[in-house]
Amino acid sequence: MNKIYVFYCENAKEIETANNNIKFVKLPCSGRLDEIMILKAFEDGAEGVIVLACYEGACKYLSGNIKAQKRIEYTKKILKGVGIEDKRLEMHYLQANQDEKFKEILKNFKKTVSE
Q: Any idea where the domains of the chain sit in the sequence? A: 4-114
Q: What is the mean pLDDT of residues 64-87?
A: 94
Q: Which residues pair with 27 in a beta bridge?
A: 9
pTM given for the model:
0.90
Query: For 79-102, what is each residue's pLDDT tens digit?
Result: 999 999 999 999 999 887 888 898
Side by side, the strands of the sheet bearing 22-27 are 22-27, 4-9, 48-53, 89-93
Q: Which of 38, 52, 1 is nearest to 22 (CA)?
A: 1
Res. 24: pLDDT tops 60: yes
CB 52 within 8 A of CB 13: yes
Q: Report which secondary-structure segment, H or E, holds 6.
A: strand 4-9
pLDDT at 11 over 90: no
